[in-house]
Each structure stands twice: as C-alpha cells, then as structure tokens.
Chains A and B, each alone.
Chain A
Amino acid sequence: MKLVVLLLLALGFVHGGEFDFTVEVPAGKFECFFQSVDIAKHKTLEVDYQVIDGGDLNINFMLIHGANVLQQDQLKTDGSHRIDLTEGGDYQVCFDNSFSYQTRKVVFFEIFLFDANGNLDESDLSSLARQDAELSIRMNDLGVTIDEFHRRANGIKNNLNKVEYHQALLRAHEARDRAIMSANFDRVTFWSLLHTLVLLGVAAIQVFMIRQLFEENSKIGRVLRKGKFD
C-alpha cells in the first residue's frame, strides 16, 4: 500500500519545469504546442527554439495566449523569448511552415517555467527521502548544518542545470550543422553528376551537328546550311 502511494507520488514528481522536444513540422503545416501555466507557481516563461534541418532553416514562430499573440518571429533560424506571466491558462507555442511547399522543418524547442525566485520549478527531493533524526546530529559533528548543505547542493544543482542547458544548445547546433553538411554533400554529388552528363551530351550533339552539316541528304544538314526550314 505504502509502495503504491509512493509510486503514485512519483508520477507527480518525476519532472520539473523544463520541457524540450525536437519535432518535425511538415511542409505547409502549422503546428502548435500548448503549455498550461499555474500562475500561483510560475512567474516567468522562457521559450528557446532552433531550426535544425530543412531548406533554408527558417520558420515562423508565435507565442499565443488566448486571443493575443504575445511574441512573433518571421522566418528566423533560432530565437529566445522570455515573458513575465500575469495570467494563468494555456500558452501556445506555434511553428508555422506554411510558406514552404516542399521542405519539412525539424525544430528543437525548450520551454522553461520559473518561479518567483527565478528557479526552475523542481521537485523537492527532501520530501521523498527517508526521515533520519540522527542526521542533523551527525552533521553537526562534522560542523555542517542541514541548511548549509542544502544551500550548497542547490548551488551545485543550478550550475549543473546550466551545463545541461548549454549542452542541449550545443547538441542542437551540431545537429543543424550536420544537416547543412549532408545537404551540401548531396548537392555536390548531384550537380557533379549532372555536369558530367551534360558535358558528354553536349559533346555528342556537337559531333552529330557537324556531321549533319556536311551530309547531302539529311534534313538537319539542309537546315544548318540554309539557315531556314524548307
């Protein structure tokens, strides 16, 4: 029974206020993602996005709340928007690829929800742990209080969160560069092949035309010699 209780609690506390997704927006489509905001807890919303694959690597972005468009970007490769929340409800993050008829876009985006202190809405691990009464005594022997420890641990956690955030950004950059490079590779191969074929084709046509020019009983020869169709 206790295990069931704890497991159910776990479902609630497994994630914090940070969501990141990489989605594919098909050509000509308009995709929206909704984030519900609890105004009691969340005071700031930040949305970062980056187009990592597809065509010119640009997309239209919109941040909508109810009937108002709060933020808008036209044909950008990446963007970052941070807004202070005054109302709760559902905020829409929309990506508009309707201007492109052929290429699908792959977009990486992150949504952060900060509380009043500017911290991410994280779960409280202390409540999940086993209650240990002797802990404070043992820690006092070491010369450290529990609060001091939590402060330091939170500091470390914030730094690690920043590291993770930068890693995610670098990962998105790398994915985008890789997509650009493989597009270049395909383009180089295609055009080289085409050039060679056109070269050979033109050489053959040149020889054929010159031969026909000196051939008596050929229609093409007569056209070339006289310069008109008869």
Chain B
Amino acid sequence: MSLKLGLGLLAVFAVTEALYFHIAETEKKCFIEEIPDETMVTGNYKVQLYDPNTKGYGDYPNIGMHVEVKDPEDKVILSKLYTAEGRFTFTSNTPGEHVICLYSNSTAWYGAQLRVHLDIQAGEHAQDYAQIAQKDKLNELQLRVRQLLDQVEQIVKEQNYQRYREERFRQTSESTNSRVFYWSLAQVLVLAITGYWQMRHLRGFFEAKKLV
C-alpha cells in the first residue's frame, strides 16, 4: 500500500519537474510542434487550482482538461477530455506544424487561475523505455543500443523532413520571384494601354468640341 502511494507520488513529482504556466478558466493555450511524419508525440500534464485559503496551488481531481491536436491541414486529430492529471499521445500522419491546444472545461471555478504543468516530447524522447525493456526483455546493452538506434532513426527522419521543407521553400521562393517579374511586366503594359486610351479618348473629345 505504501509502495503504491510512494510510486504514485513519484509519478506526480515527475510531471511537476516539467515546465508550468498559468491560464485563466476558459483561456486556451496552444503549442506548436513541427514534426516529420510517422512521429510519436507524448504529452504529460498536471493541472492545479489556485486556492485563496492557502494562497497556493492544490490538486482538485474534478478539473477536466480538454486537449485538442490539429494537424498541418487544420484537421482535428485528437480531441479528448482528460482528468486533472494525464497523458496524451498521437502519431503524426503528415509532416508539418501540429498545434496542441489545452483548455479547461469547467466553468464552476469562475475567474480562477489554473497552474498547468506540461511536458511534450516528440520522437525518440517520447518512447517508454521501461515498457520496451519489459516487453522485449532487453538487458542493459540491448536497451542502450536500442535507444541509440531510435535516436538515430529520428534524426534521419528529421533530416529527410528538412530536405522536403527546403524543396517547398525553394518552390515558393521561385514562385514569388516570377510573380514579381510578371506583375511588373503587366503593370508596364497596363500603363502603356491606359496612356494610349487616354490620348485617343481626349483627341476624340477635342475634335468633337471643335477645339482642334
């Protein structure tokens, strides 16, 4: 019993070592993760509520946290309501900027400040090595090598993604360049045509008025 409690506290303590920030009741806080495809992202969070009696932040299990994840095409790939402390995972299908938004669902504590501890890890850092060691029964050597292999694989994925990004960047850059050129050309043409039309119109006007 005490072991379970001790371990539970350890789990709680672990997330509290992460970054934390304050949000208001209905405020939405978003984080952008730019990741290659087929990359797993894990987020651990913990929410605490400001208690005016103790002037500190305490745990209230009734607070719910809504987690919404949008992919680069603005499609929602994860939208779930979690408890005051939890963990969410998703794997990217398309490379690009994924937006992870957190907001609390309860309006019962109106005007209160919430403290959210959050840790988002992507790729190799999101892997749970304890579970992998348990499942595949790996010894020290195997686990170490496995971790290094995962890290290298993630680095290679990231490099490929950067190469793809660079190609897209070059395309957009060239498109901007040609757009500038053709717009200038078009404007010169418009100017010439307008000038010609003006002269013709005014000549007709003056001739009609018998001034010329």
**For the complex, is A207 an interface residue (Cβ under 8 Å from B)?**
yes
Contact A125 B144 (CB under 8 A): yes
Number of A-B contacts (CB under 8 A): 191
Contact of B32 with A24 in the complex, beta carbons under 8 Å: yes
Report A-chain residues with C-beta under 8 Å of the C-beta of B175. Answer: 185
For A153, give its contact among B144, B158, B179 (CB under 8 Å). Answer: B144
Q: Per DSSP, are chain A's interface residues mostly helix, strand or loop, or mixed?
A: helix
- B190 near A196: Cβ-Cβ < 8 Å: yes
The chain A residue sitting closest to B161, CB to CB, is: A171
Contact A203 B198 (CB under 8 A): yes
How far, in Å, is A131 (CB) from chain B's closest CB? 8
A-side residues, CB < 8 A to B, are: 3, 5-16, 19, 21-24, 31-36, 38, 106, 111, 123, 125-126, 128-132, 135, 139, 146, 149-150, 153, 156-157, 160, 163-164, 167, 170-171, 174-175, 177-178, 181-182, 184-185, 188-189, 192, 195-196, 199-200, 203, 206-207, 210-211, 214
Q: List 25 A-B contacts (CB under 8 A).
A: A6-B134, A7-B130, A8-B11, A9-B10, A10-B129, A14-B14, A14-B125, A14-B128, A22-B34, A23-B29, A23-B31, A33-B20, A38-B17, A129-B143, A132-B140, A146-B140, A153-B144, A156-B148, A157-B151, A160-B151, A171-B34, A171-B162, A181-B169, A181-B176, A185-B172
Interface residue ranges, B against A (CB under 8 Å):
3, 7-8, 10-11, 13-22, 29-34, 42, 44, 87, 97, 119-121, 125-126, 128-131, 133-134, 137-145, 147-148, 151-152, 154-155, 158-159, 162, 165-166, 169, 172-173, 175-176, 179-180, 183, 186-187, 190-191, 194-195, 197-198, 201-202, 205-206, 209, 211
